[in-house]
Structure 1
C-alpha cells in the first residue's frame, strides 16, 4: 500500500514540485488549493479545492493522508499568517497520527553557526520580512509543540522561487539550521531539487521533529 500525501498549496511553486516528485515515486497524492486543478495537472494526482483555514477540509486531509504537507504563503492564509494555524494543524496531525511536513522559508536559517538569521541581516529586504518572520514563527511553534506531533520543516536556499527556477541537477546538499551556500557564497536551489530533498525526507525520516536546510 503506497504512502498517501495531502499537499496544501499543491498547485504553487514549491507544492507543485513536491506533488510531481511524490507522484513520480508512486505515492497517492491529493493537492488542495483555492483553484483546484492547474492548467497542466500531474497525471494520477487528485486535485481538490480547499484551504487549511477550513477545519473540515483540514480534518479530511489529515484523515486520508499519512503525511500532511503545508506549502502555502507564510504571511497570508485567508487573511491570517500561517503561524496562526499551527494549533489546528497540530490537532489534526496528532489526532489522526499523520506526519506534518512544512515548506519553510530561508529567512529563519542562520547565515553561520551561532547566527544571525538571514532575515536579521542588513541585506534582507523589508518587503520580504512579513513572510519570512511568519515562517520563523511557524518553526518556533513546531519546536515547542507536544512530543506527539511528528513534524519536519525544510528551509530552501536563499534564492528559491518561480522567479528563479534554476537547474534540475538531481542532487542537493543539506545543513541543520545553517543556510546552504556554495564556495562563492551564493545560495540557491531549483524547485525540482528542493522537492527531491523534501520527498526524500518523507521516504527516509532523517529529520524527525527537526528543521533542515537544503541547497545546491
Structure 2
C-alpha cells in the first residue's frame, strides 16, 4: 500500500490531498501543531513540529512520499519555512520518500520568458512576502537538487491564481498543466478548485511525470 506523509494535513491543500489519497486506498499520515477540529476519517494524525527532528522522522518513517503543504510565512510576513527546508529534504531523502511541495502561484510566469505573476502590477503587496518566500523554496530545490541529480526526488506544484480556502471552487474532475506558465483560460481567468488541485497532485504521486521539476495546474 502506498503511504504518504503530509506536513500540514489539517489545512486546505493538505486536507484535500489527504482525501484524494484515501479515495485511492492509500495510507495517510499527517503532522500539524494542533489536532484537527474536524478530522478526516482514516488519517493518522500526529501533533508536533516539522522543525523537530524526532517529529519529522516519526512522520516520514515508512512513507513513499512526503508532502509539504504549509505557508512559507507567518501572519506578519516573516519567513518560517526556508531554514527548515534542508532538514525536511534530508528527512525525505533518508526515508527514500519523494518530496512533493504545494507551492504558490506567484512564481509562475504569466508569459514565456516572464514576468512572474508576483512581479506584475496587479499583484497585491500584502501577498508578496508569502509569494516571494515560496518562490525561494522553488529556487532552493532547483539549485540543490536539479533535474537528473541524485539525493532527493521532488516536485513542486503551483496552482492557478485563484486558489485557496477563500475560493474552494467546484470539482470538475479535470485539470490542465504547464511547466512554468500560469494556467489560464482563454478569457484570462486563472483558477483551480481545491479538489481538482489535489487530484493533479496525487496523480503526480501515483505516476511521476515531473521529476525534480515544477509544474503548474489550473482549470
Shorter chain as denominator, the TM-score bin is over 0.9
3-state SS of paired residue (1:5): strand
Whole-Å Cα distance in 2 between the matches of residues 4 and 184 of structure 1?
40
Shift of 1:214: 0.1
TM-score normalised to the size of structure 1? 0.95
Work out the number of aligned pairs and report it: 213
Aligned-residue offset at 1:37: 3.0
- CA-based RMSD: 1.3
Shift of 1:174: 0.2
Matches within 5 A, 1:7-86: 7-39=6-38, 41-76=39-74, 80-86=79-85
Report the CA distance between 1:26 and its aligned residue: 0.7
Cα shift readout 1:91-145 (whole Å, capped 9, x = no counterpart): 1111121110000000000001100000011110010011101110000111012
The yes-or-no answer on 1:122 pairing with 2:144 is no
In 1, the alpha carbon distance for the partners of 2:32 and 2:153 equals 23
Secondary structure of 2:144's aligned partner: coil
1:38 and 1:203 map into 2 onto residues whose CA distance is: 29
Does structure 1 retain, via aligned residues, the 8 Å contact 2:171–2:195? yes
Structure 1 residue runs of 4 or more that deviate by more than 3 Å after TM superposition: none
Secondary structure at the counterpart of residue 14 of structure 1 = helix
Residues 77-156 of structure 1: pairs in structure 2 closer than 5 A: 80-146=79-145, 147=149, 148-156=151-159
Structure 2: distance between partners of 1:179 and 1:155 = 8
- TM-score normalized by structure 2? 0.94
Unaligned 5+ residue runs, structure 2? none
- Are residues 1:167 and 2:170 paired? yes
- Secondary structure at the aligned position of 1:6 is classed as strand
What's the offset of the Cα at 1:62? 2.1
